A = this chain, B = another copy of it.
Amino acid sequence: MPLTPEARAIEAVLIVAVEPVPAGLLAELLELPVEQIDPLCDELSEACRSEGRGFEVVRIAGGFRIQTHPDLAPYVERFANVGVSSRLSAAALETLAIVAYKQPVSRAQIAALRGVNVDGVVRLLEHRGYIAAVGRAPGPGQAVLYATTDAFLERLGLDRLDQLPPVEDLLPGPEALAELEEQMSPVVDG
């Protein structure tokens, strides 16, 4: 049985979501009363079960999210271990370098500097323990700020951050960064 339009919309949002999405936010996006979200997510969840999808829709602390079906963990683990390249890509290394030299820094600031969405790369670096969230920026939005970890220093064979080779810092300061961030209009071009 095909999904209802509302359940489809919820599924699409959960597909792009990186964090669990609260029912309140889903209600807002769909312009529906929040009481209707639970039944819709149940519909979605049930549809995944009955059709034997490879993922499930679950409610966890903070909201709803899509995750792989536990049955398929062996494939997912194999993918995680085989599918990742054994070296950091040039893009990932450059992002790591920006975090190392400009820390603490937000994802949006890195994105503004690199001109591309860096969510995936930041996640990877965080996942691998090279960088970590260390706080939140003051002001509106309260963006999460990232810094390098002790594991990062260890892997590079350094004791302290100030042992990093000096670089000519051509990057704009915080104010210019904020401005740059603003100029990058949040238009999706693909």
Select from chain B the residue with minimum beta-carbon distance to A26: B79
Partner of A189, one of B7, B12, B77, B85: B85
A186 near B: Cβ within 8 Å? yes
If A51-B51, A52-B2 touch, whether A12 touches B190 (CB-CB below 8 Å) is: no
Distance in angstroms from A158 CB to nearest chain B CB is: 11
Q: Mark A19-63, 1 if CB is under 8 A from B, else 0.
A: 101000100111000000000000000010011111100000000
Q: Are A86 and B17 in contact (CB under 8 A)?
A: no
Which size bracket describes the interface of A in this complex? 35 or more
A68 near B: Cβ within 8 Å? yes
If A15-B54, A30-B75, A190-B154 touch, whether A85 touches B184 (CB-CB below 8 Å) is: yes
Partner of A54, one of B7, B21, B189: B7
Q: Mark A105-132, 1 if CB is under 8 A from B, else 0.
A: 0001001101111011001100111000
Q: Mark A79-94, 1 if CB is under 8 A from B, else 0.
A: 1111111111001000
Partner of A85, one of B55, B117, B128: B117
Residues from chain B with Cβ under 8 Å of A1 in the complex:
51
Distance in angstroms from A98 CB to nearest chain B CB is: 13
A185 near B: Cβ within 8 Å? yes
Q: Are B84 and A112 in contact (CB under 8 A)?
A: yes
Select from chain B the residue with minimum beta-carbon distance to A114: B127
Q: Are B77 and A188 in contact (CB under 8 A)?
A: yes
